[in-house]
Chain A
Amino acid sequence: MARLERIAYPAALVLLLLAPVYLGAYNLALLGRFLAMGILAMGIALVWGHAGILPLGQGLFFGLGAYGIAMHLKLVALAPGEIPDFMQWNGLDALPWLWVPFKSGVIALVGALVVPSALAVALGWLLFRRRVGGVYFAIITQAMVLAATTFIISQQPYTGGFNGLTDFSSAFGFSLIDQRTQVGLYVVTVLLLALLFFTARWLLSTQFGKLLRAIRDGENRVRFLGYDPAPYKVAIFAVGALMAAIAGLLFTLNIGVISPAMIGVVPSIEMVVWVAVGGRESLSGAVLGTLLVNFGKDKVSSSFPDLWLYLIGAMFVLVVTVLPEGLAGIARLLTSEPREESRKTLVVPVILPADEPAKNSKSRSA
C-alpha cells in the first residue's frame, strides 16, 4: 500500500495539473469547484473520521469564507462612490460599516480565513469544555448553520438576501472572465489541495493524530491518563473549519457566486455524505467521494432533477449498512491488504451514547 501511494499520489497530482490540457472549459470549471470542496471534505474526514466529532454545519464555515471573499469581489466591481446594486434596490445610500474593511483584498482574505476559524474555536471551546458531544454537538452545529442562512436571507439590504452575491468582474487584478484566470485559479486550487492533503497526513502521523483517535475511541481512558481532551477537539474542529473556509473562498472564486442555498442545512449534510461515500477515515477517499458524488449530481440532476435527493439518501444508507469504510474500504480490499482495525459497521457518533467505561460494576456476580 505504501509503495502504491508513492506512485499514486504524484500521478494523481500530475493528472490533475494537466487537466486544463485535456478537459474542456465547462468540465474544468466543475473539477475546480469540486476539488475546492474536496478540501472541505478532508476537513470533515479529520474531524469526523479521526476525532469522532460529527459536524453537520460545515456550511457555516464554508459560507463565512465564501462571503468574506465575495464581499470583496462585489466591492472591487464597483465604480468609485458606488454601492452594490442590491443595496440600492433596498434603499441604502451608503456602504454599511461592516462592508468597509472588505475594500481591502488582504483584509478580506485574512478575514475569510480567521473569522471562521475563530468562530470554530469559540464554539468548540464552549461545547467541548462542557463535554457536549455526539448527537448534541451535531445538532448544535446544524442549528448554527440554519441560523446563519436565516440571518443572511432576512438581512437582504446588507447581505444580498436569498439571491446571494454575484456579478464579480475581477479578483486581485485578474479578470474573472478571462479563461487564463480560470486556469490559474484551477492550478492554485489543485496545489492548495495537495498542500493541505500532505499537511493533514503529517498531522495524523503525529502524537496529536494518535491522541485524536485515542479520544475518539476512549475519551474517558484518555482523560484518566491525565489528558484534557477538550483542547484536542477544539484544535481539530478549528482545523476542519479553516479547511471549510479555504474551500468556500476557492469555490466562490471558481464559480463567481455565493448564496444561502449553497451553505444551508441540506448542503451541510451532503458534505458529510461525500465523506461517508469516500471513507471517513481516508483523506484521499474524502476527495474522491466529493468528486464522485458531485459529478454524479451534475449528470443526474441535469437529466432527472427530482431524483437526486433520493439517490444521495440511498447512497448514504448503502454506505452506512454495507460499506462502512466507503470507497477507501473497497480500494483496500482490491489491494488485498485487509486493514487490521476494520470495524464491522460505520460508527456514526449520532447514534452512539457517550462512552462510559466501567460504570456498571455488576457485570460479574459474586
Chain B
Amino acid sequence: MSDSLLQIDNVTVSFQGFKALDSVSFSLAPGSMRTIIGPNGAGKSTLMDTIIGRVRPVSGRILYKGSDITRLPEYEVVRRGICRKFQTPGILPTLTVEENIIVAAKRHRAWFKALRTHITAAECDRVEEILDLIVLREKRRMLAAHLAHGAKQWLEIGMVVASDAELLLLDEPAAGMTHQEREKTANLIKRLIGRCAFVVIDHDMDFVEQLNAPVSVLHMGRILCEGTIDEVRSNSQVKSVYLGRSLEAEADYAQA
C-alpha cells in the first residue's frame, strides 16, 4: 500500500446530486500504467479533474506518495509531480515549439524568477531531450499554432514530460489522430513507462490494446471491472454497456 505512487480511496464526486464518480478506488505503482476506458459520460474526465484538483470530491481522498492531495490547489498538485494532458491540444499557440517546452521545463515558476532572457543549462538539456523524444527538433522555431493536429498532441505530451512529473494523466492522447499517428503516440507513451507513471483514458479499444497495460472500465461513475484488455473484452457486463454498444454501432455502420 505504502509503495504506491497514487492511491484513489473511495472517491465520490457529485454535481448537484448527480454522482459523476461513485466510490472509485484504485492505486498505481511508480512507473506503471493504467488505462481507463468507458463510454462518454462515464466519468473518465471527471476522474482526471479530481486527481488534478480541478473538481473537489464530496467524499474519499487521493493520496500521492502517501500524502493527501485531495484539497490542494491545482498548481500545487502539479508542483508535487502530477501533470495532465488535456483532450483538446493544450499548447500555447503564440509561442514556438521550443518556447512551449521551455515554459513546461522551467523549475522556477515564480514571476520574479522569470525576469531573465536565458534559461539554465539543465533546463536547456531537458528541452533538447524532449525535442528528440517527440521528434519535433526540426520544427523547434515554428509557432505551435502552425503544427498539425497530431504534432500538437505530441508537443503537449512533451510538455507534460518536460514538467518532470512522475505521474502523467493523459486524456485521450490519440483523439482525432490517423492510424499511423496513433501508433506513434502509443510507442511514445510506451517508451516513457518506467520513467513516469501514466493514467491514460480513451475510448478507442485498439489504441488501449497497443498500450498493453491494465485496464479499468468506468461506467456511470463506477469501476465496472478491471483486468487485461482481453479479460475486459470478454466480460459480459462490459460487453453490454460498452463494447456491445459500439459493436452494434459498427454493425449499423456496416449495414448503412
Partner-B contacts on A (CB < 8 A): 202-203, 205-208, 210-211, 213-214, 216-218, 220-228, 231-232, 235, 340-341, 357-359, 361-366
Contacts and interface: CB of A to CB of B under 8 A. Distances in A.
28 contacts: A206-B117, A207-B114, A208-B111, A208-B115, A210-B102, A211-B103, A211-B114, A213-B92, A221-B92, A224-B74, A224-B83, A224-B84, A226-B75, A226-B83, A226-B109, A228-B75, A232-B111, A232-B114, A340-B146, A357-B88, A358-B90, A359-B45, A361-B40, A361-B41, A361-B45, A362-B40, A363-B175, A364-B175
A218 B91 CA distance: 7
Contacts of B110: 231
Contacts of B245: 366
B191 interface: no
B99 interface: yes
Contacts of A228: 73, 75, 109
Contacts of A207: 102-103, 106, 114-117, 119
Given A214-B95, A225-B159, A366-B245, A341 B103 contact: no
Interface residues of B, number: 51
Nearest to A355: B90
Contact of A341 (B40, B117, B145): B145
B153 interface: no
Given A208-B111, A232-B111, A363-B175, A226 B163 contact: yes
A220 B92 CA distance: 10
Given A205-B117, A207-B114, A366-B242, 4 more contacts: A225-B104, A226-B109, A361-B40, A366-B203
Contacts of A223: 74-75, 78
Contacts, number: 124
Interface string B31-46: 0000000011100110
A225 B163 contact: yes
Nearest to B93: A217
Contacts of A218: 90-93
Nearest to B109: A227
A205 B203 CA distance: 42
Contacts of A363: 87-88, 175
Given A208-B115, A361-B44, A361-B87, A225 B78 contact: yes
Contact of B116 (A206, A214, A217, A226): A206
Given A207-B102, A217-B94, A357-B86, A226 B111 contact: no
